[in-house]
Amino acid sequence: MTGTFEIFPAIDLLGGRCVRLYQGDYAQATTYSDDPAAQAAVFCAEGASWLHVVDLDAARSGLPTNVEAIAAISRVATEAGVPVQVGGGVRTTKAAEALFDLGVRRVVLGTAALETPELVTELAANHAVAVGLDARAGEVAVRGWVEGSGRTVAEMARQFADVGVDALVVTDIGRDGTLEGPDLDGLTDLLAAVDIPLLASGGVATLGDVVTLAGVRRPDGKGLAGVVIGRALYEGAFRLPDVIAATRGDVK
C-alpha cells in the first residue's frame, strides 16, 4: 500500500460478464458489461490507481472459471500501468501462482484464509497478498458468501496481524450492491483493532460516502487505506475522476 487513500473500481466476473450482486445473492446479479477488459480500459483511462477483480464463479466453486477475462483485464491494466488485485476461489498455491503468472499484482484470499491460514503465510512471504473478510451480521462468510464460518471479522483480522499481508478487504455483505452507505461503525472499530491496512467494500452510494471513509481516523491518525466501489460507479452516482479528485490528499 502507498499510504494514500486509494480508490479500487470493482470488476466482478460471472460467466465472463461484468456484474454486480445484490447482498451477495447470485440470483440477483445485474450485468453491466459483456466485455470486462473494455470496462477495465475505461477505469484505467479515468485515472484508476488499482483495479479490484473478483471471479464470482470461482468464489463459489473453488475452480478458476473466468481466466480468459482476468488475463484480458490484466493485459489492459498492465499496458496502462495500473496494478490489479484478484480474488475469488484462490484456495491453493497453484491457483495463486496462476494469477501472478497472468500479471496480477496481488491476490485476495477469503475462504482459504479461514480454512488453510498457512497458505496466507506461505504466499505472503514472496508475494503481495490481501485477506478478504466478507461478513454478514459480523460473521465472516465463505465459499462465495453462501456459508457462515462461525468467526467474527475482528477474530480473523487479528489472526493475520503478523504474517505480512498487504491489506484486509472488508466487505459488509448486507450492504454490498445496495447503495445504502458503508458500515462506518464497524470499520472504525476494526481500524482500532488492527494495524493492517484496511480496504472498505460495500454500500458506497455517494461521493460523500467516499469522502467520509477517507476521513475515518483512529486517535493516532491512522486511517483506512482505500475503498472498493462497484455499483455506484456503474450506475452513475459519480464518476471515477471526481471521486479521485475529492479524496486526493485527504490521507497523509
Helices (H), the chain: 36-45, 56-61, 67-80, 93-101, 111-115, 117-124, 153-159, 184-193, 207-214, 231-234, 240-247
Fold of 6-247: TIM Barrel (3.20.20)
Q: Is the pTM of this model over 0.85?
A: yes
Catalytic residues, which ones?
A: 12, 134
Among 53, 64, 70, 123, CA closest to 89? 64
* Least confident range of 114-123, 128-137, 156-165, 234-243: 128-137
Mean pLDDT, residues 2-7: 80
Residue 250 is predicted with a pLDDT of: 41
Hey, what's the cell of 105?
499484482
Which range of 69-78, 143-152, 155-164, 173-182 scores highest in mean pLDDT? It is 69-78
Alpha carbon of residue 98 to chain centroid = 19
- pLDDT digits 0-9 by tens, 10-58: 999 999 999 988 877 788 889 999 999 999 999 999 999 999 999 999 9
The answer to whether 205 touches 177, Cβ cutoff 8 Å, is no
Please state, rounded to an integer, the average pLDDT across all residues of the chain: 89
* Least confident range of 30-34, 49-53, 140-144, 178-182: 140-144
Alpha carbon of residue 106 to chain centroid = 11
Percent of the chain predicted with pLDDT > 90: 67
Asked if pLDDT for residue 113 goes beyond 70, the answer is yes
Asked if pLDDT for residue 146 goes beyond 60, the answer is no
Mean pLDDT, residues 165-186: 82
- The C-alpha atoms of residue 104 and residue 96 are separated, in whole angstroms, by 9
**CA distances to 9, 41, 163, 251 from 235, in Å:** 13, 17, 38, 27
Residue 143 is predicted with a pLDDT of: 57
- The C-alpha atoms of residue 184 and residue 227 are separated, in whole angstroms, by 12
Mean pLDDT, residues 219-242: 95
Hey, what's the cell of 156?
480473523
Residue 173 is predicted with a pLDDT of: 73
The residues pairing with 54 across neighbouring beta strands, listed in sequence order, are 12, 87
Asked if pLDDT for residue 180 goes beyond 60, the answer is yes
- pLDDT digits 0-9 by tens, 62-109: 888 999 999 999 999 999 999 999 999 999 999 999 999 999 999 999
Instruction: Give the 3-state secondary structure of residue 72.
Output: helix
Q: How many of the other CB atoms lie within 10 Å of CB of 236?
A: 7
Residue 198 is predicted with a pLDDT of: 96
The answer to whether 203 touches 170, Cβ cutoff 8 Å, is no
- The C-alpha atoms of residue 198 and residue 191 are separated, in whole angstroms, by 7
* Rounded CA Rg of the chain: 16
- Give the residue, 114 or 79, on which the prediction is more confident: 79
